[in-house]
Amino acid sequence: MKTQTIAPKRWWYIMPIVFITYSLAYLDRANFSFASAAGINDDLGITKGMSSLLGALFFLGYFFFQIPGAVYAERRSVKKLIFWCLVLWGVCASLTGVVSNIPMLAAIRFTLGVVEAAVMPAMLIYISNWFTKSERSRANTFLILGNPVTVLWMSVVSGYLIDSFGWREMFIIEGIPAVIWAVAWWFMVQDKPEQSRWMSDEEKAALAAQLKKEQENIKAVRNYGEAFRNRNVILLCMQYFAWSIGVYGFVLWLPSILRNGTQMGMVEAGWLSAVPYLAATIAMIVVSWASDKMQNRKLFVWPLLLIGAMAFLGSYLVGSSNFWLSYGLLVIAGGAMYAPYGPFFAIIPEMLPRNVSGGAMALINSMGALGSFVGSWIVGYLNGATGSPAASYIFMGAALLVSVWLTLIVKPAENKTPPLHGAKHA
């Protein structure tokens, strides 16, 4: 395909920056799960119900500030926005290590959500400025790979840091890299291809022409209000809400689920927690490549979420008596839930024009944050109230089944005008 020959160096220049940035955001978000498994509750006098709420508070801050962040990124500058986000979330993450009471911890968790809220939509907007339709699923996947790959190494590193120093030192040490990276980000990043010094004028012109051509086949949408009322945007909001219940119920409570009922230390829990994210990393790369190759997005979303749902329900049926079979099913669930992210986030810029697609992605992502809040809170609550993860497996599996159904009734192709003869559906 001809579009592939436009400035291949974009991949080598932009993707490592995108990956590292989102990876650091994810590190400072997910390490709370290790503090929960390592005694932060006992040290601060946090009850089990309060622990699940504190873990989930991050997503409440994240929910409220998605759309303002995306609007600023779309109309002003991704570069400036992410720079300040990096500095602030690194500071907030390190401050988590010096809290002495529950209100301080609650305030920091909420604030961390606020300053990280803009990262995902801003980075998706950034990618859509630099990569064409035939590249976007893979480009999105390199961004979101920062999520499972980070949890993969963070699971091991955090286990060792807590074992060697304690949960406070883990937070302080893991917050510092974001602040250092902010300086590198400022000097390496340009908002638009035309500002870059490492692309030739011919490459800039070819990329601009291709991106402009892709916009011609998308029906015009006047403003955010019209975009947010679009049937598909509403369905995708609901779908991502349900999907995120499963993902973040899993991410935030996996170390605690593994230690529940077993005499497992933090280092062992760290290694075992890492395996589902290794499966997720491999699955995401394969799925995004296939989605870009076939230019079919939905086909690479709902079947995988269905596999995730079945794995959770299987884990429930197996029960805690067979630890290794149950754990194997959790590895499958983790891989299957993560795999569709690249194709999913390629759907939106392919059905909405550039003037509103960033805001629509932010709205969908904010509903995902609300689902993450619900998932992480209720899963933590169910685990604490029942003393077993069985009820939470049913809850996460049911949420994924709902997301499968909602994916199936989305019709992205209806937004394209005029339809190209023989064009494949998203």
CATH label of the domain that carries residue 22: 1.20.1250.20
- In the prediction, which pLDDT does 269 show? 75
**Amino acid in the structure at residue 306:** L
Read off the pLDDT of residues 72-129 as tens digits, 9 standing for 90 and up. 888 889 999 999 999 999 999 899 889 888 899 899 989 998 988 888 889 988 998 8
| Model pLDDT, residue 346 | 85
Predicted pLDDT at 256: 67
pLDDT the model gives residue 83: 96
Angular region, 388: left φ>0, alpha ψ -120 to 50, beta rest: beta
User: Which of 11, 149, 367 minimizes the C-alpha distance to 3?
Assistant: 11
Widest distance between CA atoms in the chain: 64
Q: So what's the pLDDT on residue 403?
A: 95
How far is the C-alpha of 340 from the C-alpha of 329, rounded, in Å?
Answer: 18
C-alpha to C-alpha distance for 347 and 297, rounded to whole angstroms: 7
**Contacts for 271 with CB less than 8 Å, ≥ 6 apart:** 155, 156, 159
Give every CB contact of residue 333 below 8 A, 6+ residues apart in sequence: 246, 250, 276, 308, 311, 312, 315, 396
| Residue 197 placed within a domain | no
* Residue 336 half-sphere exposure toward CB, CA atoms < 13 A: 22
Q: Is residue 57 part of a domain?
A: yes
Please indicate, yes or no, if residue 282 is contained in any of the structural domains: yes
Answer whether residue 179 is part of any domain. Answer: yes
Residues of the chain falling short of pLDDT 50 = 1-4, 414-426
Per-residue model confidence as pLDDT tens digits over 308-331: 999 888 888 887 677 788 888 888
How far is it, in rounded angstroms, from Cα 344 to Cα 297? 7
Distance CA 183, CA 185 (A): 5
Structural domain contains residue 196: no
**Exposure of 187 by Cβ count < 10 A (0-12 exposed, 13-18 middle, 19+ buried)?**
exposed
Backbone angles phi, psi at 332, to 5 degrees: -65, -45
Which H or E element spans position 254?
helix 231-259
Structural domain including 338 reads 9-191+208-409
DSSP reduced 3-state for 416:
strand
What pLDDT score was predicted for residue 263? Answer: 66
Q: Note whether residue 49 is domain-resident.
A: yes
Answer whether 331's CB lies under 8 Å from 291's CB.
Answer: no
For 199-245, give the DSSP string: S-HHHHHHHHHHHHHHHHTB----SHHHHHT-HHHHHHHHHHHHHHH
Distance, CA of 385 to chain centre: 28
Q: State the Cα–Cα distance between residues 236 and 362, nearest whole angstrom.
A: 12
CB burial of residue 289 (10 Å; 0-12, 13-18, 19+): middle
Q: Closest by alpha carbon to 150, among 333, 340, 22?
A: 22
Tokens of 370: 């609300």
322, 390 Cβ separation under 8 angstroms: no
Asked if residue 245 lies in contact with residue 412, where contact means CB atoms within 8 angstroms, the answer is no
Compute CA 146 distance to the chain's CA centroid, rounded to the nearest angstrom.
8
Domain count, the chain: 1
Look up the pTM and report it.
0.79
Give the distance from CA 422 to its chain's centroid: 33
Q: Is residue 340 part of a domain?
A: yes
CA distances from 229 to 122, 360, 368 (A): 22, 10, 17
Q: For residue 422, what pLDDT is reported?
A: 41
Residue 418 in domain: no
**Would you state the pLDDT for residue 86?**
94
Cα separation, 293 vs 134, whole angstroms: 8
